[in-house]
A and B are shown apart, each in its own frame.
Chain A
């Protein structure tokens, strides 16, 4: 049973909509991540938060806006998306600077942009 939950599990939105993805971790970790998984491509790291501070932004378009209000919650705000943004968005958490710093993943949000 994963300690990382994501809502919603599925989302369909138009290009002019604004929506948010939510991630919550129950593992006591201090780092959280957003990844994008597209068909036939490796996972792409989008954002990293350590102790609520953003430490990585992998050249992600500004139509994706992350928010980390505390070490247990992570949001991804979406606006004016494009059809090529359709993908599985995965959240993960880890204990930064822990012994093995293993990342634990949520089940993902399957996003379809029409």
Chain B
């Protein structure tokens, strides 16, 4: 079946890089997404990558996709306290549905 897994918690110091990892099972996924959720808010789209790409960079964000291992990562360079949030990985299956992971809580310490 379709499944997306993430580690639940990551703690980093301000200024360090953060790497949030995600694995998925559906090899027919077309797009993979990263969403950010701040306390009390909805999900904010951060970035996405098409399945035929292996990397995408957008300012401080770098997405790496290893399609062979079904592994997706989000790297945040120069992490700031404002980056503290829950980060969700999601895959879009070939049925069009979005399958979400359970979210990784990123804690940024000053």
Contacts and interface: CB of A to CB of B under 8 A. Distances in A.
Contacts of B43: 43, 90, 92, 105
A102 B45 contact: yes
Interface string B11-54: 00000000000000000000101010000111111001010000
Nearest to A2: B42
The range of chain B's interface size is 20 to 34
A92 B98 CA distance: 11
Contacts, number: 46
Contacts of B110: none
Nearest to B41: A107
Nearest to B31: A100
Contacts of B60: none
A19 B85 CA distance: 30
Nearest to B6: A42
Interface in B31-89: 31, 33, 35, 40-45, 48, 50, 88
A106 interface: yes
B102 A105 contact: no
Interface string A85-114: 000001010001000111111111010000
Interface of B: 4, 31, 33, 35, 40-45, 48, 50, 88, 92, 96-103
Interface of A: 2, 4, 6, 40-43, 45, 56, 90, 92, 96, 100-108, 110
